[in-house]
Chains A and B, each alone.
Chain A
Amino acid sequence: NAGVTQTPKFQVLKTGQSMTLQCAQDMNHEYMSWYRQDPGMGLRLIHYSVGAGITDQGEVPNGYNVSRSTTEDFPLRLLSAAPSQTSVYFCASRPAPGQPNIGTGNTIYFGEGSWLTVV
């Protein structure tokens, strides 16, 4: 099934540990992004990518690294987890103009979220 897949769905980390949240899409979308959502808040953009080998910072990039070695994958790395990074993380993708659209029009596709707790 076409879509955005995030793993893991749930993770508990100790302060100072590192980990990678995985995001993969099978729709050949050029644009991918990571958001975080704290309780009762809207989504805030962490990093985004407009194609393989290209990444850029969003609103809240500190403490996170990303890379885009392939069109399909956009992993988010926490180098040294802090309690302030406890949040729900969403990955999203969308096609570039002219790309074939899969699904409902030229829209944004979100993963189901990854719940991260840092203790």
Chain B
Amino acid sequence: DAKTTQPTSMDCAEGRAANLPCNHSTISGNEYVYWYRQIHSQGPQYIIHGLKNNETNEMASLIITEDRKSSTLILPHATLRDTAVYYCIVRPFRWNTPLVFGKGTRLSVIA
């Protein structure tokens, strides 16, 4: 399974865009990139996922490089409630293979 590398922590000013990077240089062609976040020890919450193209939903945008070796999660207007640990996960092509979480990025949104 592909592994991911994320910065340990990041700060972002409230109202500004938060850009969270993720490296997944060994990703396979059919593996998806998923992003989850965990707010204060609650269960992880799904944010967005993508395969090749950039994706956008009501929560965030996902930018995947053309070579698919890295991606960036963008929270366009960060609020204090976006303070959380953000996990970048590569989903195995084989659906029945377990998902492995890294340590994620702790995003602190500052007023």
Contact = CB atoms under 8 A, between A and B. Distances in A.
Partners in one complex: yes
B43 A42 contact: no
Given A31-B96, A33-B99, A92-B44, 11 more contacts: A42-B102, A42-B104, A43-B101, A45-B98, A90-B43, A105-B49, A107-B34, A108-B34, A108-B36, A110-B43, A113-B43
A112 B85 CA distance: 16
Interface string B86-111: 01000000011011111110000000
Tell me the dominant secondary structure on chain A's binding face: strand
27 contacts: A30-B96, A31-B95, A37-B41, A41-B103, A42-B101, A42-B103, A43-B87, A44-B101, A45-B99, A45-B100, A58-B98, A90-B43, A92-B44, A94-B95, A96-B95, A97-B95, A105-B49, A107-B46, A107-B49, A108-B34, A108-B36, A111-B43, A112-B42, A112-B43, A113-B41, A113-B42, A113-B43
Interface residues of B, number: 20
Interface of B: 34, 36, 41-46, 49, 85, 87, 95-96, 98-104
Interface size class of A (residues with CB under 8 A): 20 to 34
Contacts of A105: 49
A108 B96 contact: no
Which applies to chain B's interface (DSSP): helix, strand, loop or mixed? loop
Contacts of B44: 43, 90, 92, 108, 110
B102 A48 contact: no
A33 B98 contact: yes
Interface string A23-65: 0000000110101010001111100101000001011000000
A88 interface: yes
Nearest to B106: A40
